[in-house]
Amino acid sequence: MPVEVRLEGLTKVFHSHRESVVAVDRLDLEVEKGELVTLLGPSGCGKTTTLRLVGGFEIPTAGEVYLGGRRVTHLPPQRRDTATVFQSYGLFPHMTVFENVAFGLKVRRLPREEVRRRVREALKLVNLEGLERRYPRELSGGQQQRVALCRALVIEPKVLLFDEPLSNLDAKLRVETREQIRKLQKELGITSLYVTHDQAEAMAISDRIAVMSEGRLQQIGPPYEIYAHPANRFVADFIGRANFLRAVVRGPRDGRVEIELLDGVRLEVPAVADLHEGDEVVAVVRPEAVDILPEGEGDVTATVTFAHYTGSLATYKLALPGGETMEVEVLSPQEKGFLSEGTRVGVRFHRQSVHLLRE
Amino acid sequence: MERYRELRRLVHDPFLLLLVTLVFALLALFIVYPLVRVLATSLFYRGEFNPKYFLQFFQRRYLIRPFLNSLTVGGLVAMLGTIIGFVFAYAVTRTDIPGKSLFKVIATFPIISPPFLIALAAILLLGNHGLITEFLRARFGIDWDIYGLPGLVLTETLAYFPLAFMTLEGVLSGIDPALEESALDLGASRLRTFFKVTLPLATPGIASALLLVFIRSLEDFGNPIVIQGHYPVLTTQAYLAVTGMYNLPLAATLSVILLVPTLLAFVLQRYWVSRRSYVTVTGRPTPSSLKATTPGLKWGLFAVLCVLSGIILLFYGLVFYGSLTRMWGLDNTLTLENFRYVFSTGLDYLLDTLKIAGMATPIGGILAVVIAYLVTRKRFPGRGLMDFLSMLNFAIPGTIVGIGYILAFHNPPFQLTGTAAIIALVFIFRRMPVGIREAVAMLQQVDPAIEEAAVDLGAGFARAFRRIVLPLISPAFISGMVYIFVRCVTAISAVVFVVSAQWQLITVALLHEVDNADLSQAAAYGVVIILVVLGVILLLDNVLGRLILRRWQRAR
């Protein structure tokens, strides 16, 4: 697939009275045609600034932006073939739904009939037929969101930019809408760059996720890859929950590697490159990647120090004999029996899910 | 690098580039250049550096006296005006006296009418042939009139206390009454609460009001020219230097001397006092439960407000009455003769005024909105400079602007003296800052994503501005235009220098009548001015406003 968006060494420094803040720091990123890439990170990580640099709303301090192989760094937004779905939607309050959606087409001087046809088709696509004459204020939040999406889609941009488009919707609508966005994006094959701080949203919607922190790209890859093989502690911690257990490498074994935890437990886990005997590593263990067994079974015996029940899940904190604690989630606790604090249990690690980090 | 990229970006938005260039050219020519000419004229003589009037400043009475007089009047007016303004503001925000909105309306009279109408009314009452003067002379044989310092202080205080009132009303209503209630609750007396809580919290606002009124008093030309008697101030002395002696270096020097305290006060107000504000803007202040005042205080304040409002009403009433008399003080029989005079002999002045105001208003209004938009929403090299230059005339007395315009535009290449254009230009560039501020305030309430969406969808600057920005800030656009128009019809201090035989203004005509002691005719001009102002406010605000707003309001 050809590359549609390419960012090269993209850097943005904001200057205020006293200090300079590096919002985006030498970012390299490629988005392939038809792909949806999410920029994910905590607030202030530079993801929205990156999106605005691609849209042309900010001028980069250094680096270049390429759209479809063409350098556009010097072009203002109206000369770029992008369309943005804004967090606050940015609907024109003095125009009807129809006029809002038609705006970009009229700018392109399309014949009146074609404008009408395309607006109608686009509104149908997002289930807004019949609301053409309404003003934005007369619409629900979800409808406003769809008008914003529709207005961006209708001009058939090379790249769609989403700036936390679901953050103003309630939780249930958010899930519905993100499914709808993903479906449309796939059907129409529109290259998309999507900004969110919600990792579940990112996991659900993306072809690839680019995790950012402090202006830097931490890792980029498919959701599965990011979750299973986080590149560092930040990514492991930000995507899902993670326990970090200290361990020492005891030696490679048939394409795998044996590690020893503080408790003396030895596990054979998938290898990562460049590990040598005696290296100190951190084992990333997801809360769901262990089994709770009766005391005496499994790899090690632990004590429940905290128990929390939320219906579908039970969350326990376990004190391991080596002095570390770890968080464990057990699905459908009704089936397995809810454990009370102080209970001693056996723990078995899922070998295949343990991911090693060197620090 | 980023700067360079901003510049390159401009090239790809030719309309924006054109506009930025045009605005800078206009600001340079009509704001910076006249100022530079005034400074140069005060410092150079026949091409050589010779600041002779500055060097003689302490020796020459005609230099030092107006300076001291201006400061004296300014100081007194600032104090009295701020005290009255505070009383008004306190009564309106901290008590439940009846007729609040009426008091507010009366307090805005001096702001929207030509301020020197108050001086005219004072003369009708206390001048040579004033009602009270004549009474005192006939009954007690006392020969006293108001000209000079007392007249200046009286008229300017009445003319400019509304400014202090409006400033302090904002400040006081921003102070959460819960703070005063807490003090009372903790056992402090009402007096103690006032002095230990209310007053300290309002101090930055009071300082701000003092400085603003001080500036206005220093800049005032209309009242002094009418009522100063033998007590010359800087503005009138500079005017005299131009019209009486045709001594432009002297006039330039006087106006620069005027500039120093004005600018100082402005800088102090803008960058020091306003930074110290304790008022936190967190939405609407909670409605006061008004526990901090006793009934005695409440009705006391009410009485004071009634008296002051009564004086203002009396003064404006006098102007109306005066306009209907044959020859004020000598023959007070009623007649409509003066209005026939105004609409025959004075008709040219009125039409000139309306024509010039009609030119200046839309141009100034659009320019204000464009500049406001550029400086708040666009990025280009020199944005900060544009912001500064466009607001500069706000801090500069009209006298300097007027003298600057004669100096700058008397000779080629920019020969404009004697034209309507020069008067219109004075109006536009002097009154634009208020329009800019209103538009900026309004723009700050418009989600930037709305314009970004327009640009994102392919609209260039021109389209995004015309189709999106302008409709959204049309209320500010309209009220900015109303302001400019009203100021055009009531202005005097700067334009008095640039009127000519071909193009006269009604305010100048009024002053001529005062000069000729034709007070009744002067009053008739005053009445016409007031009616025009009221008419335009109603027209622009209601009719035009509604037309433009209808669509947008429907959207709400």
CB proximity B468 to A under 8 Å:
yes
* Rounded CA separation B221/B402 (Å): 12
More confident residue, A48 or B198: A48
B452 to A77: CB separation less than 8 angstroms, yes or no: yes
Q: Going by C-beta distance under 8 Å and a sequence separation of 6 or more, which residues neighbour residue B376?
A: B440, B443, B444
Give residue B397's region: left, alpha or beta (phi > 0; psi -120 to 50): beta
A104 to B472: CB separation less than 8 angstroms, yes or no: no
Residues of B in contact with A90 (CB under 8 A): 447, 449-453
Strand partners, A36: A192
More confident residue, B15 or A35: A35
Q: What is the DSSP letter of B130?
A: -
Q: What is the least distance, in Å, from the CA of B450 to any CA of chain A?
A: 4
DSSP string, B431-451: HHHHHHHHHHHHHTTS-HHHH
CB B259 within 8 A of CB B238: no
CB proximity B457 to A under 8 Å:
yes
The CA radius of gyration of chain B, in Å to the nearest whole number, is 25
CB proximity B379 to A under 8 Å:
yes
Quote the pLDDT of residue B284: 44
B346, B352, B359: which is closest to B484 by C-alpha? B359
Residue B556 scores a pLDDT above 50: no
Quote the pLDDT of residue B554: 47
Q: What is the least distance, in Å, from the CA of B386 to any CA of chain A?
A: 19
Strands (E), B300-455: 325-327, 331-334
Residue B3 scores a pLDDT above 80: no
Give the containing element (helix H, strand E) for A8: strand A3-15
Which one of B9, B453, B456 has the shortest CB-CB distance to A74?
B9
Q: At what angle do helices B474-490 and B545-555 cross, to 10 degrees?
A: 160
Q: What superfamily does domain B53-323 belong to in CATH?
A: MetI-like (1.10.3720.10)
Residues of A in contact with B449 (CB under 8 A): 86-90
Q: What is the pLDDT of residues B508-554, one digit of tens each?
A: 999 888 888 888 899 999 999 999 988 888 887 676 666 655 544 44
Q: Rounded to whole angstroms, what are the CA distances from B113 to B118, B438, B479?
A: 9, 20, 16
Q: What's the mean pLDDT in B422-433?
A: 91
CB B158 within 8 A of CB B126: no
Residues A248, A249, A250, CA angle at the centre, nearest 5°? 110
Quote the pLDDT of residue A206: 96
**Beta strands at A159-163 and A191-196: parallel, antiparallel or unpaired:** parallel
Architecture of domain A241-358: Beta Barrel (2.40)
CB proximity B470 to A under 8 Å:
no
Report the range of poorest mean pLDDT among B204-208, B296-300, B436-440, B546-550.
Answer: B546-550
CB proximity A135 to B under 8 Å:
yes
CB B292 within 8 A of CB B194: yes
* Rounded CA separation B36/B51 (Å): 15
Which pLDDT band holds residue A201 (cuts at 50, 70, 90)? Answer: very high
Residue B283 scores a pLDDT above 60: no
Which pLDDT band holds residue B281 (cuts at 50, 70, 90)? Answer: very low
B457 to A155: CB separation less than 8 angstroms, yes or no: yes
Strand partners, A13: A22
Whose structure tokens read 């046809």? A117
Q: What is the least distance, in Å, from the CA of A14 to any CA of chain B?
A: 11
> Which stretches of A154-243 are DSSP H helices?
171-188, 199-205, 223-228, 233-238
B5 to A74: CB separation less than 8 angstroms, yes or no: yes
Neighbours of B549 (CB within 10 A): 16
- Going from N- to C-terminal start, the domains of chain A cover 3-237, 241-358
Q: Count CB pairs under 8 A between chains A and B.
A: 98
Q: What is the least distance, in Å, from the CA of B31 to any CA of chain A?
A: 28
A3-237 and A241-358 share one CATH topology?
Answer: no
Give the containing element (helix H, strand E) for B182: helix B177-185
Whose structure tokens read 């315009």? B405
* Rounded CA separation B241/B403 (Å): 10
In the sheet where A159-163 sits, what is the strand order? Answer: A82-85, A159-163, A191-196, A36-40, A208-213, A216-221
CB proximity B547 to A under 8 Å:
no
The sign one gets for the Cα dihedral A87, A93, A95, A97 is positive
Residues of A in contact with B5 (CB under 8 A): 59-60, 73-74
Strand partners, A162: A85, A194
CB proximity A21 to B under 8 Å:
no
Measure the CA dihedral B126/B127/B128/B129, to 10°.
Answer: -70
* Rounded CA separation A158/B506 (Å): 61
Residue B192, token pair as written in the block: 């103690």
Name the closest residue on chain B to residue A82, using Cα atoms.
Answer: B456
* Rounded CA separation A22/A310 (Å): 41
* Rounded CA separation A85/A64 (Å): 23
* Rounded CA separation A328/A241 (Å): 10
A235, A263, A238, A260: which is closest to A250 by C-alpha? A260
Strand partners, A22: A13
Which pLDDT band holds residue A24 (cuts at 50, 70, 90)? Answer: very high
CB proximity B60 to A under 8 Å:
no
Residue A253 scores a pLDDT above 80: no
Name the closest residue on chain A to residue B460, using Cα atoms.
Answer: A78
Q: What is the pLDDT of residues B39-86, one digit of tens each?
A: 999 888 777 888 888 878 778 888 889 999 999 999 999 999 999 999
Which pLDDT band holds residue B275 (cuts at 50, 70, 90)? Answer: low
A93 to B468: CB separation less than 8 angstroms, yes or no: no
B213, B184, B273, B215: which is closest to B86 by C-alpha? B213
B456, B64, B83: which is closest to A89 by C-alpha? B456
Residue B94 scores a pLDDT above 50: yes
ipTM at complex level: 0.82
Q: What's the mean pLDDT in A132-145?
A: 92
B523, B545, B429: which is closest to B23 by C-alpha? B429
Residue B282 scores a pLDDT above 70: no
Give residue A240's region: left, alpha or beta (phi > 0; psi -120 to 50): left
Q: What is the least distance, in Å, from the CA of B455 to any CA of chain A?
A: 5
Residue A55, token pair as written in the block: 């849209």
CB B460 within 8 A of CB A81: no
Residues of B in contact with A61 (CB under 8 A): 1-2
Whose structure tokens read 């607030």? A43
Q: What is the least distance, in Å, from the CA of A30 to any CA of chain B?
A: 21
Q: What is the DSSP letter of A339?
A: P
Residue B280 scores a pLDDT above 70: no
CB proximity B300 to A under 8 Å:
no
Q: What is the pLDDT of residues B112-142, one digit of tens each?
A: 788 788 999 998 988 888 888 888 888 887 8
B455 to A78: CB separation less than 8 angstroms, yes or no: yes
CB proximity A79 to B under 8 Å:
yes
CB proximity A155 to B under 8 Å:
yes
Strand, helix or coil at A92?
coil
What's the one-letter identity of residue B202?
A: A
Residue A29 scores a pLDDT above 90: yes
Q: What's the mean pLDDT in B498-513?
A: 88
What is the pTM for the complete model shown?
0.80
- Going from N- to C-terminal start, the domains of chain B cover 2-43+343-555, 53-323
Residues of B in contact with A53 (CB under 8 A): none
Neighbours of A244 (CB within 10 A): 16
Quote the pLDDT of residue B540: 72
Domain A3-237 sits in CATH 1.10.3210.10: no
Residues of B in contact with A148 (CB under 8 A): 453
Q: Rounded to whole angstroms, what are the CA distances from A151 to A92, A195, A241?
A: 11, 18, 37
B209, B243, B221: which is closest to B114 by C-alpha? B221
The sign one gets for the Cα dihedral B136, B142, B147, B152 is negative
Strand partners, A70: A67
Q: What is the pLDDT of residues A215-235, one digit of tens each?
A: 999 999 999 999 999 999 999
Quote the pLDDT of residue B549: 56
Report the range of poorest mean pLDDT among A129-143, B166-180, B421-435.
Answer: B166-180
Q: Rounded to whole angstroms, what are the CA distances from B371 to A83, B212, B331, B374, B466?
A: 27, 24, 53, 5, 14
CB B224 within 8 A of CB B236: yes
Q: Going by C-beta distance under 8 Å and a sequence separation of 6 or more, which residues neighbour residue B203?
A: none
A302, A348, A345: which is closest to A322 by C-alpha? A302
Which pLDDT band holds residue B9 (cuts at 50, 70, 90)? Answer: confident
The per-residue pLDDT of chain A, averaged, comes to 91
> What's the distance, CA A71 to chain centroid?
27
B400, B406, B407, B375: which is closest to B389 by C-alpha? B375
pLDDT > 70: percent of chain B: 93
CB proximity A93 to B under 8 Å:
yes
Q: Going by C-beta distance under 8 Å and a sequence separation of 6 or more, which residues neighbour residue B428?
A: B30, B360, B363, B364, B367, B484
Quote the pLDDT of residue B285: 45
Which one of B451, B456, B471 has the shortest CB-CB distance to A83?
B456
Q: What is the pLDDT of residues B203-253, one digit of tens each?
A: 888 988 999 899 999 999 999 998 988 899 999 999 999 888 888 888 999
Quote the pLDDT of residue B544: 65
**Beta strands at A280-285 and A355-358: parallel, antiparallel or unpaired:** antiparallel
Residue B555 scores a pLDDT above 60: no
Residue A275 scores a pLDDT above 90: no
Residue B128, token pair as written in the block: 């040579």
CB proximity A77 to B under 8 Å:
yes
More confident residue, B194 or A107: A107
Strand, helix or coil at A347?
strand
Burial (CB count within 10 angstroms: exposed 0-12, middle 13-18, buried 19+), residue B142: exposed
Residue among B457, B468, B470, B551 with most chain A CBs within 10 A, to mutate: B457
Name the closest residue on chain A to residue B9, using Cα atoms.
Answer: A74
Residues of A in contact with B17 (CB under 8 A): none
Q: What is the least distance, in Å, from the CA of A131 to any CA of chain B?
A: 14
Strand, helix or coil at A169?
coil
* Rounded CA separation A2/B386 (Å): 45
Quote the pLDDT of residue B182: 78
Q: What is the least distance, in Å, from the CA of B213 to any CA of chain A?
A: 31
- Correct CATH for B2-43+343-555 of 3.20.20.10, 3.50.50.60, 1.10.3720.10, 3.20.20.150: 1.10.3720.10
Burial (CB count within 10 angstroms: exposed 0-12, middle 13-18, buried 19+), residue B448: middle
Q: What is the pLDDT of residues A314-332, one digit of tens each?
A: 899 999 988 899 999 988 7
Residues of A in contact with B454 (CB under 8 A): 92, 103
